Structure 1
Amino acid sequence: MSMQRICIVGPGAIGGMMAVHMQRAGYDVSALARSTKVAEINQKGIKLLDGGQTYTAKPKAAVDARDLGPQDLVIVTVKAAGLPWVAEHLQTLSHPDTAWVFVMNGVPWWFFHGFGGEHAGTGLQSIDPGGVLSTALPADRIMWGVINCNVAIEIDGTLNHAHSNQLQLGRPSGSLNGLDTVANVFRAAGYNTDLSPTIRDAIWGKLLVNMTFNPLSVLTMATTDLLLSDPLVRDLAIKAVDEGRAVGEALGIASGPSGAQRFLAPTKPAVSAKTSMLADFERGRALEVSPLIGAVVEIANLVGVSVPFTKALYGLIRLRSQISAQTNPI
């Protein structure tokens, strides 16, 4: 399967960096985005600071998928709220062999597809009310990426890659069919890419950090190192992570180290970084509350695991998000 024509859907921090490096690697890269982002890309391209070097790419950018045509690989890097918009355009960007890769945070709409024992097939109302996404974006077609890559958007729109470029790719079914071809594209662009037959483990392992630090960062306006430096906040983070681990374990998910192992005896010093949710909050954007923490509460209720600290965080950040939306309507 040829992988020459690539479209990045939602070229923000993560997707923008992919666009730059994939174009540098020789691929024919385009971008599908909202009108303001398209105007920005068409005017000045995408500028990336990475490893002490400055790179600029100018992929063809469009609001309408018909202006880009069918692609060999479509990489979706939008926030969860943008998925209905993606579903409107994805078929136009595709031919029968087009690979769809979603590189996103949080619990996906297909989480219980062929998984979960007695809960298999359960739809998550916090993520996909009415099953709209499950119909439009069928799990059998999906490849999923879990990325560890810190990229910030500076005031002038420049992307600044601070650290990490690790990616895990998998399918909801656990099959590795076709993944290596896609992984080679990411590898050519400089990403350390591994294949996973248990992608839910990777999703949940990253989720434990996101469901904790993202809400805490917005509630306190603090970077991750400051959150961990306060013993009371750190203790809350430990408790929330351990609740999340218990939910995952009830479904047979290997969630990695405990909260204490992560935050009391870390293998690396805490990095001073803004979470993606804090960056969105500061820019007046909608917060990814449901996929990062609301779905955890829904799944906890489903499997009968008590998560009082997680529920408290969920209530607080949900209210903060509602007030923010009223103050900064999108």
Structure 2
Amino acid sequence: MPLNTPSHTGRLRFAVMGAGAVGCYFGALLARAGHAVTLIGRPDHVQAIQAHGLRLQTATQDTHVPLEASTDASAVRGADVVLLCVKSTDTEEAARQMQPYLAPGALVLTLQNGVDNDERARAVLGAAHPVAAAVVYVATAMAGPGHVRHFGRGELVIGPSPASARVARELCDAGIPAEVSDNVRSALWAKLVINCAYNALSAIVQQPYGWLVQQDGATDVIADVVAECLAVAQADGVPPPADIHAAVRGIAQSMAGQRSSTAQDLARGRPTEIGHLNGYVVQRGAALGVATPVNRALLVLVRMAEASGVRGPQDHQKT
């Protein structure tokens, strides 16, 4: 029964496809609120969760949350809502894996970096399965198998769909601030700009945000990156948020000690999402006739670091 119908009044069933730091944190809060939640992730995490529950560690508590966990995409079967939390590079493949098992009318929410994951998932899933983008503002980390840590924030901005309002209410009731916005594309771009400003630089030098902005010339490079991103967004018909410059500056203060997710991927020898961050700006800029030389340089530098096998200090912070 579609979850947006009046007769669907019970607790929602959630599945988290790609249960890393972000998906585990939101899954834990939903499970604590009484929703049925199934996490789909890597074997080491799944085994730990099956044995002991998911360990949720925040500034005020350290507890284990019992919930279901699986390594198989078939575990989305019966879910009312699927939180798609895989890397942007894996969006289409994850959608293909889920498609045979999705319930009719199940809402897929894309909680990912980048601005086009909902479009890419929708192209695979078709009209039978509604897809909505969600912008995520949270600092979380996997501290070990089955162990998620929360460092701050935790709100979502959800794009419109027939079920978005219902889902947002349930999220709020579970302690996850959520709102539905008709302007989610602008919010996605705002996060993209911040990621483009810091992620590649943090990855290349394997340093946190606060260190970056203390280096001579770094804030000028960041300003150039932001200017290019905003020029592409404007050419693409996306109005920039009025406070984007303040938001970019604020990250270096509020997350001063954190390395970017791109830095973490590089340090662990994993593929990065750089093609969906600075790479996306370069791609759209080329299509729209907007020059993006600074974003292109950062894209190439990160790809060269990937190709050369550069490694760095490994911590587990997710940003």
Superposition TM-score tier, normalisation by shorter sequence: 0.7 to 0.9
Cα-to-partner distance string for 1:232-272 (whole Å, 9 max, x where unaligned) = 112101110111011101122122258764556x5993422
Aligned equivalent of 2:68: 60
Give the CA deviation at 1:36.
3.3
Say if 1:29 and 1:60, in contact at 8 Å, map to a contact too: yes
1:7 and 2:15 matched = yes
Say if 1:247 and 1:303, in contact at 8 Å, map to a contact too: yes
Aligned equivalent of 1:124: none
Aligned equivalent of 2:270: 285
Partners of 1:298 and 1:45 in 2: CA distance? 42
Aligned equivalent of 2:98: 90
Give the CA deviation at 1:26.
0.4
1:315 and 2:315 matched = no
Say if 1:65 and 1:92, in contact at 8 Å, map to a contact too: no
Partners of 2:50 and 2:219 in 1: CA distance? 44
1:22 and 2:47 matched = no
The correspondence of residues 106-255 of structure 1 with structure 2, limited to 5 A, is 106-109=114-117, 135-138=123-126, 141-155=130-144, 158-171=147-160, 176-255=161-240
- Matched residue type, 2:84: V
Give the CA deviation at 1:46.
1.7
State TM-score, norm by structure 1. Answer: 0.83
Aligned equivalent of 1:117: none
Task: Tell me the percent identity.
Answer: 25
Partners of 1:258 and 1:308 in 2: CA distance? 24
State TM-score, norm by structure 2. Answer: 0.86
**Partner SS state of residue 317, structure 1:** helix
**Partner SS state of residue 108, structure 2:** strand
Partners of 1:60 and 1:317 in 2: CA distance? 37
Comparing 95-104 and 267-276, the one that deviates more: 267-276
**Partner SS state of residue 231, structure 1:** coil
Q: Which runs of 4+ in 1 moved over 4 A?
A: 257-264
Comparing 47-56 and 14-23, the one that deviates more: 47-56
Partners of 1:210 and 1:34 in 2: CA distance? 25
1:36 and 2:44 matched = yes
**Partner SS state of residue 240, structure 2:** coil
- Matched residue type, 2:292: V
Change (3 A) 1:226 1:5: same
The partner residue of 2:78 within 66, 70, 73 is 70
The partner residue of 2:253 within 252, 269, 277 is 269
Partners of 1:235 and 1:166 in 2: CA distance? 30
- Matched residue type, 2:50: N
Partners of 1:326 and 1:273 in 2: CA distance? 17
Say if 1:22 and 1:189, in contact at 8 Å, map to a contact too: yes
Change (3 A) 1:88 1:39: farther
- Matched residue type, 1:142: V
**Partner SS state of residue 141, structure 2:** strand
Change (3 A) 1:48 1:312: same
Change (3 A) 1:70 1:150: same
Partners of 2:154 and 2:75 in 1: CA distance? 31
* Stretches of structure 2 lacking an aligned partner (at least 5 in a row): 313-319
Aligned equivalent of 2:317: none
- Matched residue type, 1:324: G
Change (3 A) 1:177 1:156: closer
- Matched residue type, 1:269: Q
- Matched residue type, 2:56: L
Cα-to-partner distance string for 1:287-309 (whole Å, 9 max, x where unaligned) = 11111121110100111111111
Partners of 1:170 and 1:222 in 2: CA distance? 33
**Partner SS state of residue 154, structure 1:** strand
Partners of 2:276 and 2:247 in 1: CA distance? 22
Comparing 136-145 and 240-249, the one that deviates more: 136-145
* Stretches of structure 1 lacking an aligned partner (at least 5 in a row): 112-127
| Root-mean-square deviation over aligned CA pairs | 2.6
